[in-house]
Chains A and B, each alone.
Chain A
């Protein structure tokens, strides 16, 4: 079975400072990993993915994430946070060997960027 853990319920950061949102996963094979962002009363918006290749992947709005196989982690990062980055962030994993491609999500991390 696949699972995702986001160990921090909330991350507070000052505007302009680096932002990191942590994610660890468990899957039987090589994972497909995703980050999504959710604004209030909205659906999930895709940020970035890791499928294969370079461990550092870049996505929308200046976000990037680093895949670390030995630590089974896929942390989301942004060098300089903006107030508008305040939202709920979800990490998700998919087992490419499983039928279909359902996503398993973590519990989410609320990011609050203070001016």
Chain B
């Protein structure tokens, strides 16, 4: 069990550019979540997947954001036409439904800075 990994750890981009982040969950976990955390705040839910199906999206996830989990394993989060307000830490988490496990395990996050 190597934990949840995220890549890259840091990303600096200019306003208007597109960025893509990757998350690799714990291998046997069937649920994968994306959260956004701005400085001094708690994480806010963006979206989650059960296997490859995206089952819920927050109103925070504007049309410029898209997430995929094509084979039910890793996931990508793309932000198109980035804005300065997108600067935040993007956290990925995974969990296993059933078996008495209720907690989510988080990756180290990708810190996005839009200049």
* A, B assembled together: yes
Q: Is B4 an interface residue (CB 8 A)?
A: yes
Interface size class of A (residues with CB under 8 A): 20 to 34
Which residue on chain B has the smallest CB distance to residue A110?
B40
Q: Is the interface of B mostly helix, strand, loop or mixed?
A: strand
Which of the segments B63-71, B72-80, B102-110 contacts the partner chain?
B102-110
Partner of A32, one of B35, B48, B55, B102: B102
Q: Which residues of A contact B95 (CB under 8 A)?
A: 101
Give the Cβ gap from B53 to chain A, nearest Cβ, in Å.
11
Q: Are A34 and B108 in contact, with the CB atoms below 8 A?
A: no
Q: Is A90 an interface residue (CB 8 A)?
A: yes
Q: Is A115 an interface residue (CB 8 A)?
A: no
Q: Which residues of B contact A4 (CB under 8 A)?
A: 42
Q: Is A45 an interface residue (CB 8 A)?
A: yes
Q: Is A87 an interface residue (CB 8 A)?
A: no
Interface on A for B, CB 8 Å cutoff?
A: 4, 32, 34, 36, 41-46, 49, 51, 90, 92, 94, 99-108
Interface on B for A, CB 8 Å cutoff?
A: 4, 6, 31, 33, 35, 40-45, 48, 50, 55-56, 91, 93, 95, 97, 102-109, 111
